[in-house]
């Protein structure tokens, strides 16, 4: 409301491709408070982080170029990279994030132009890249000369402790020449505003601004004004505090429901320490094949296979606890349990038939 | 305000890539009233018409593909087409728009994948494509199988009479398979909302939606809600009436100033019948070279050369009468006159020197 009342003229006019300057200043200021040195000229507002990823892909990737990603990783990034014709090379990750040894093997062999990763409460795994691995990734980037595109969409949604500093913050001057930092208001403020930002070394940033101009001239001024006034009023920090508690409660509700409803199934998952996703494994169950049954029972999830560039792990599943109520979560997990048990029964029957026919 | 009051939840949430359904319905309804049959499923909201053009370029153009454009044409379209690696082939235009004979020669020889044009009050020329030529362009599109991308950013900003029906409206069922229609709220409502829309044959539209998802997921929901409530309240038609009168007054103010201040210069221009641009010729003056002097005197314009894919006409100039006051327009043109006279003097001195040295 205030955005429209105070800055009516500005809110509806053309703006600069880099974004509304006062908003960029507040973003840089907040990042500074989190230990991330962001200079305003190094910072461009984008129409959501999807655009930021797409801009990086458009600027850096030529058809056939290799790009390394964690496996599994964010579907929208895989799509944007492939749309530019990238040859996406997956790197295995565990609960501490991308494996540094595997990464070095991949970059030494494939010499990718960039590595895309979500260091904090990753989508879909919820994992956090450890401090040691962050430093190792930066060293590898300098050694093998590839850009690290760090997508920090979820870093502020920690339940208890903040994650380690961002790669952008950890990088020394040399390493910083290889780091692209993306962050977003979609999880912390509102996705419908379509606002994120990107920071990159100066030459790369110039190319990103050209791609941004060509892509949509600039992001919606009205959204930028709303975000500016929200931040300027100091409303974001208390909202984030509430959000952290909210998502933690949601995660606990999901954890409880899993314990109660899925104890007799092979469902395996660890409670995440932030973000909005539960990444699980259901050995013996093809979650893509199960989706239709689940949806017909009114419970939705994303089959794990969607998050792999290749060799999908078909028994993986991503559950979101972002928006359902505790009751809905409990009921959803109950129905999911029914689906899993049915799938197991079907699989058992198939096995019996196969044994009979052999 | 109302958008935020009524639909607070929706305004800040993720939306569909195709756009906010009630807004798409109102857009289709308004288009229908202008004789343009637009079905809601055929209509996708974009982040300004720049994104619409960029999406078309991304979907249709592979590096080296030929794309025909009017010469001169919108700089942002040239940039988007070239960014995809298009081989842009200019087609001469006159005061009635693109030359049909020249177009047929170009398409027969180069077999472009698409033709981009602005049929109404074109940027930069202000010209309107005649009804006969519209029909001829549609016939050529079907005959030579190329897409006609019609960018109707200015069609509602006529001073007296509406322009002929859009190509999308004129097309028969066969021709319609080759027409892509783009229109925008940037000129009629507010550029800062970054809202436009695109309509295309179903298969092409599916590809455009994929590119849209990859590009920015969806356009800002808040902007879409504002546009919806503005249209729904019936506020756009009276605003457009006022805008038409306003731009006409502005154009007259510029015409008067040109008459008074530039009568003794070679400046030549015809008053446009709509839109927001005056396209002029200043024989003997390189408008790109003159820009720096003009800006240092506080008057800005776009040198004509910017609007040509090749062989720029360096004596052309685009003046905008969109936002300056009548006084500013008069003063700006007075200063422009000073610049022109100085350029002429400089050119005369150069000629004298060249004669002396030869």
Q: What is the value of ipTM here, to two decimals?
A: 0.91
Dig out the tokens for A27 from the structure.
Answer: 């973003």
Question: Which pLDDT belongs to residue A14?
Answer: 81
Place of tokens 């969607």: A306
**Under an 8 A CB cutoff, do A12 and B54 touch?**
no
Distance CA A330, CA A258 (A): 8
Q: How far apart are CA A214 and CA A58, in angstroms?
A: 11
Measured between CB atoms, which of A14, A54, A226 is closest to B215?
A54
The Cα–Cα gap between B61 and B43 comes to 21
Listed by start position, the domains of chain A span: 2-234, 237-357
- Identify the residue among B192, B196, B226 best suited for mutation to test binding to A, counting A beta carbons within 10 A and taking the highest: B192
For A301-340, b/e burial (b = at least 16 CB within 10 A) is bbbbbbbbbeebebbbbbbbbeebeeeebbbbbebbbebb
DSSP string, B103-148: HHHHHHHH--SEEEE--SS-TTT-----HHHHHHHHHHHHHHT-EE
Q: Which residues of B touch A (CB under 8 A)?
A: 1, 4, 10-15, 46-48, 50-51, 54, 58, 76, 79-80, 83, 189-194, 211, 213-223, 226
Query: Which CATH fold topology does A2-234 show?
Result: 3.40.640
Quote the DSSP letter at residue A41: G
- A208: closest CA of chain B, how far (Å): 12
Test B226 with A223 for CB contact under 8 angstroms. no
Check if A2-234 and A237-357 are the same fold. Answer: no
CA A317-A319-A322 angle, 5° bins: 160
Alpha-carbon distance B13 to A308, whole Å?
27
Summarize pLDDT for B223-268 with one digit per residue, the tens.
999 999 999 999 999 999 999 999 999 999 999 999 999 999 999 9
Contacts with B1 from chain A: Cβ below 8 Å: 1, 4
Whether residue B70 has pLDDT greater than 50 = yes
Nearest CB among A11, A80, A186 relative to B214 is that of A80
Is A85 within 8 Å of A233 (Cβ atoms)?
no
Q: Do A14 and B191 touch (CB under 8 A)?
A: yes
CA A100 vs CA A92, A154, B35, B259: distances in Å: 9, 22, 61, 72
Angle at A315 between CA A310 and CA A320, to 5 degrees: 95
Can you tell me whether residue A118 is helix, strand or coil?
Answer: coil
Distance from CA of B3 to the nearest CA of A (A): 10
Cα dihedral B220/B226/B232/B237 (nearest 10): -110
H or E stretch at A94: strand A87-94
Residue A193: its chain B contacts at CB < 8 A? 12, 220-222
- Whole-number Å distance between alpha carbons of B289 and B312: 13
Q: Are strands B268-269 and B196-199 parallel, antiparallel or unpaired?
A: unpaired
Query: Taking all residues of chain B, what is their mean pLDDT, rounded to a whole number?
Result: 94
**How do the residues of chain B divide into helix, strand and coil, expressed in percent and rounded to 5?**
50, 15, 35
Residue owning tokens 């008069």: B330
> Is the Cβ pair A214, B48 closer than 8 Å?
no
pLDDT at A34: 83
- What value does the mean pLDDT take over residues B15-40? 93
Q: What is the pLDDT of residue B135?
A: 98
Percentage of chain B beyond pLDDT 90 is: 86
- Residue among B192, B213, B220 whose CB faces A15 most closely: B192
Asked whether A183 and A196 are in contact (CB, 8 A), the reply is yes
- Of B187, B206, B196, B221, nearest in space to B45 by CA: B196
Helices A48-60, A202-216: crossing angle, 10 deg rounding: 120
Would you place residue B7 in the very low, low, confident or very high pLDDT band (cuts 50, 70, 90)?
low
Q: What is the pLDDT of residue A7?
A: 55
Q: Is 90 exceeded by the pLDDT of residue B12?
A: no
- Angstroms from B49 CA to nearest CA on chain A: 8
pLDDT at A4: 44
pLDDT of B204-231, one tens digit each?
A: 999 999 999 999 999 999 999 999 999 9
Closest CA to A149 of A211, A60, A75, A62: A60
For the sheet containing A316-320, what is the strand order?
Answer: A268-269, A277-281, A316-320, A302-303
Distance CA A67, CA A64 (A): 9
Chain A hits for B50, CB-CB cut-off 8 Å, are 213-217
Q: What is the mean pLDDT of residues B163-181?
A: 97
Residue among A46, A194, A220 minimizing CB distance to B192: A220
Which pLDDT does position B3 carry in this prediction? 44
Show the tokens assigned to B270: 């015809």
What is the C-alpha separation between B45 and A216, in angstroms, rounded? 12
Which class for B162: exposed (0-12), middle (13-18), buried (19 or more C-beta within 10 A)?
middle
User: Could you tell me where the DSSP H helices lie in chain A?
Assistant: 2-6, 8-11, 21-33, 48-60, 75-83, 100-110, 131-144, 167-170, 173-176, 202-216, 221-232, 236-262, 287-296, 326-357
Task: Give the architecture-level CATH label for domain B237-357.
Answer: Alpha-Beta Complex (3.90)
Residue B198 has pLDDT above 70, yes or no: yes
* pLDDT average, residue stretch B152-157: 95
Mean pLDDT (whole number) for B37-57: 96
Residue B357 has pLDDT above 80, yes or no: no
CA distances from B70 to B86, B122, B164, B209, B265 (A): 15, 10, 18, 27, 28
Residues of A with CB under 8 A from a CB of B: 1, 4, 10-15, 46-48, 50-51, 54, 58, 76, 79-80, 83, 186, 190-194, 211, 213-223, 226
Q: Which residue of A has its CA nearest to B76?
A: A214
User: Largest Cα–Cα distance of chain B, in whole Å?
Assistant: 77
Helix (H/G/I), strand (E/B), else coil: B36: coil
Q: How far apart are CA B154 and CA B276, in angstroms?
A: 8
pLDDT at A2: 45
CATH topology of domain B2-233: 3.40.640
Q: How many CB atoms lie within 10 A of CB A233?
A: 9
Span B283-301, pLDDT tens digits = 999 999 999 999 999 999 9
Of residues A91 and B9, which shows the higher confidence score? A91
* CA B15-B21-B22 angle, 5° bins: 125
> Would you give per-residue pLDDT tens digits along chain A (358 residues)?
444 444 566 777 788 999 999 999 999 999 998 888 889 999 999 999 999 999 999 999 999 999 999 999 999 999 999 999 999 999 999 999 999 999 999 999 999 999 999 999 999 999 999 999 999 999 999 999 999 999 999 999 999 999 999 999 999 999 999 999 999 999 888 888 999 999 999 999 999 999 999 999 999 999 999 999 999 999 999 999 999 999 999 999 999 999 999 999 999 999 999 999 999 999 999 999 999 999 999 999 999 999 999 989 999 999 999 989 999 999 999 999 999 999 999 888 888 888 787 6
Residue A321 tokens, joined: 């606890």
Residues 6+ away with beta carbon under 8 Å from B346? none
> Cα–Cα distance between A196 and A216 in angstroms, integer?
14
Closest CA in chain B for residue A227: B12
Looking at residue A197, its pLDDT comes to 97
């Amino acid at each position: 409301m205030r955005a429209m009342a105070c800055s009516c003229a500005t809110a509806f006019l053309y703006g600069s491709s880099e974004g509304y300057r006062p908003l960029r200043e507040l973003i840089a200021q907040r990042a500074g408070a989190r230990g991330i040195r962001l200079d305003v000229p190094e910072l461009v507002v984008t129409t959501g982080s999807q655009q930021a990823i797409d801009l990086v892909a458009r600027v850096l990737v030529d058809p056939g170029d290799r790009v390394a990603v964690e496996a599994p990783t964010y579907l929208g990034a895989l799509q944007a990279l492939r749309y530019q014709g990238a040859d996406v090379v997956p790197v295995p990750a565990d609960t501490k994030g991308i494996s540094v040894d595997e990464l070095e093997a991949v970059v030494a062999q494939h010499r990718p132009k960039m590595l895309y990763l979500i260091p904090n409460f990753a989508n879909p795994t919820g994992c956090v890249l450890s401090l040691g691995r962050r430093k190792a990734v930066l060293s590898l980037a300098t050694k093998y000369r590839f850009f690290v595109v760090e997508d920090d969409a979820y870093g502020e949604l920690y339940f208890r402790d903040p994650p380690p500093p961002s790669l952008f913050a950890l990088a020394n001057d040399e390493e910083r020449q290889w780091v692209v930092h993306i962050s977003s208001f979609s999880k912390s403020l509102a996705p419908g505003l379509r606002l994120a930002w990107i920071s990159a070394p100066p030459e790369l940033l110039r190319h990103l601004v050209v791609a941004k101009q060509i892509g949509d001239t600039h992001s919606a001024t009205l959204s930028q004004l709303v975000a500016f006034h929200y931040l300027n009023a100091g409303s974001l920090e208390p909202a984030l505090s509430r959000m952290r508690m909210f998502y933690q409660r949601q995660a606990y509700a999901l954890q409880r429901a899993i314990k109660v409803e899925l104890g007799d199934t092979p469902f395996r998952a660890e409670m995440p320490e932030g973000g909005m996703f539960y990444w699980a494994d259901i050995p013996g169950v093809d979650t893509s094949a199960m989706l239709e049954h689940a949806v017909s029972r009114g419970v939705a999830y994303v089959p794990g296979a969607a998050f792999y560039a290749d060799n999908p792990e078909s028994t993986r599943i991503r559950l979101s606890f972002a928006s359902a109520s505790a009751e809905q979560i409990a009921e959803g997990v109950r129905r999911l349990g029914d689906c899993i048990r049915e799938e197991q029964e079907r699989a058992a029957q198939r096995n019996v038939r196969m044994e009979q026919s052999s």
